[in-house]
């Protein structure tokens, strides 16, 4: 156990019920042939309105080896698609998955939820209490597709082969789109040492987004002055909404986090994550767009914080990288002992060189290299959320030793 937590960790803003699909190339082969999918049709940008268009989107992302989060026309499309595969029901959402990591490390949390059903009640561990804005039970599952490197799908006119492992999220979740806040959020924040803000990426009504942001700012007035506010970016369904969130919340945010896919969306180009000049340029561009006190970018090779307060978070960065690497190799049932064992594994050489170059070039940057792991069946679902949980665990531990 990391230690006693004097103040509450409040994690939000919305949780999900996830259908984690078990990758099966033979099922994808069958579906691709049944729907007559051809190579030239593969696109990541077309509307997802039925089983076929969902299949096309999955295969397009697999072909590029990238991860993403996309809107689907209805939950019925997800139910129909997942019926072809073996799948596991789990809990998701950045706050919930970060809370599950904290639970594994002996740190309790309070979840802010916008929906509830028996899956949530059954799967939340005892250390994770919750407040919830929902007045009735609902279920709008998120489809999670985790694919391995070398995933192979045969189309009628060619093959799809993934160059890297990654994860995809597909959802139509009205409660998370509305993001109704629980009336007791301000009371919960009054005793909070940490407040995690995430989930605005699923909203699609700009006026409603503005209202929720105003309500969150009001609730945040209850936070103690020394609380840590962590905001995790995500795949915004409407990218311009990310700018609205920054405009309203950035002054209250201590740490602004994002993954490699989101970094590349912000700078508007692909970034070679092991090319020192390319990454330095991208981090500088991202900092110009998002002048956060600490802007954290986490990738498969490294995690780097830039900004005037970045140096305060080196220990939390290291904790985040170790915990995320542990879940990558162990899966959901990681323990603190597993995390300790990860510490003895080798770091990624290219990541180490990259971090050193960035720290030399950007005076306020601090970074940590990822681990060099060779895992037959890695866990890529929720790694970003796991990183957040590891970061918050590291922040709690750092405060306890001050």
pLDDT tens over the chain, length 402 residues: 333 445 799 999 999 999 999 999 999 999 999 999 999 999 999 999 999 999 999 999 999 999 888 999 999 999 999 999 999 999 999 999 999 999 999 999 999 999 999 999 999 999 999 999 999 999 999 999 999 999 999 999 999 999 998 889 999 999 999 999 999 999 999 999 999 999 998 899 999 999 999 999 999 999 999 999 999 998 787 889 999 999 999 999 999 999 998 999 999 999 999 999 999 999 999 999 999 999 999 999 999 999 999 999 999 999 999 999 999 999 888 999 999 999 999 999 999 999 999 999 999 999 999 999 988 778 877 889 999 999 999 999 887 665
CA-closest candidate to residue 380, choices 270, 300, 262: 300
What is the C-alpha to C-alpha distance for residues 32 and 61, in angstroms, rounded to an integer?
15
CA distance 146 to 123: 21
User: What is the reported pTM?
Assistant: 0.89
CB 147 within 8 A of CB 67: no
Query: Rounded distance, CA 230 to CA 12, Å?
Result: 10
Q: How far apart are CA 109 and CA 131, in angstroms?
A: 11
Tokens representing 375 are 């895992």
94 closest CA partner among 258, 314, 210, 220: 258
Residues 272, 60: Cα–Cα separation, whole Å: 20
Q: Is 4 exposed, middle or buried (0-12, 13-18, 19+ CB in 10 A)?
A: exposed
Q: Is the dihedral of CA 205, 206, 211, 213 positive or negative?
A: positive
Residues 6+ apart with CB under 8 A from 225: none
Sign of CA dihedral 77, 78, 82, 83: negative
């Amino acid at each position: 156990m990391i230690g006693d937590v004097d103040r509450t960790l409040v994690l939000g803003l919305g949780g999900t019920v996830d259908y984690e699909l078990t990758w099966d190339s033979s099922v994808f082969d069958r579906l691709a042939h049944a729907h007559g999918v051809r190579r030239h049709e593969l696109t990541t940008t077309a509307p997802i309105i039925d089983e076929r268009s969902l299949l096309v989107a999955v295969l397009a992302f697999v072909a590029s080896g990238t991860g993403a989060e996309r809107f689907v026309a209805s939950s019925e499309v997800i139910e129909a698609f997942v019926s072809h595969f073996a799948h596991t029901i789990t809990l998701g959402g950045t706050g919930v998955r970060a809370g599950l990591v904290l639970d594994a490390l002996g740190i309790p949390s309070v979840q802010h939820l916008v929906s509830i059903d028996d899956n949530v009640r059954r799967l939340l561990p005892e250390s994770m209490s919750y407040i919830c804005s929902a007045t009735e039970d609902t279920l709008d599952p998120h489809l999670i597709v985790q694919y391995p490197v070398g995933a192979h799908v045969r189309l009628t006119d060619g093959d799809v082969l993934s160059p890297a492992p990654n994860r995809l999220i597909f959802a139509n979740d009205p409660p998370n789109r509305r993001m109704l806040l629980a009336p007791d959020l301000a009371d919960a924040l009054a005793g909070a040492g940490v407040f995690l803000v995430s989930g605005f990426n699923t909203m699609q009504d700009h006026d409603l987004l503005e209202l929720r942001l105003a309500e969150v700012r009001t609730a945040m007035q209850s936070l103690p002055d020394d609380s840590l506010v962590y905001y995790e970016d995500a795949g915004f369904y409407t990218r311009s909404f990310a700018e609205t969130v920054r405009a309203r919340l950035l002054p209250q945010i201590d740490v602004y986090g994002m993954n490699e896919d989101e970094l590349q969306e912000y700078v508007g180009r692909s970034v070679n994550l092991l090319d020192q000049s390319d990454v330095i340029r991208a981090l500088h561009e991202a900092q110009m767009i998002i002048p956060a006190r600490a802007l954290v970018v986490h990738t498969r090779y490294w995690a780097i914080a830039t900004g005037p307060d970045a140096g305060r978070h080196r220990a939390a960065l290291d904790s985040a990288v170790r915990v995320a690497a542990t879940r990558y190799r162990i899966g959901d049932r990681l323990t603190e002992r597993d995390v300790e064992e990860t510490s003895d594994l080798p770091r990624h050489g290219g990541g180490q060189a990259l971090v050193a170059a960035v720290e030399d070039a950007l005076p306020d940057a601090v970074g940590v290299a990822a681990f060099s792991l060779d895992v037959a069946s890695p866990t890529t679902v929720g790694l970003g959320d796991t990183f957040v949980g590891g970061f918050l665990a590291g922040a709690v531990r750092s405060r306890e030793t001050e």
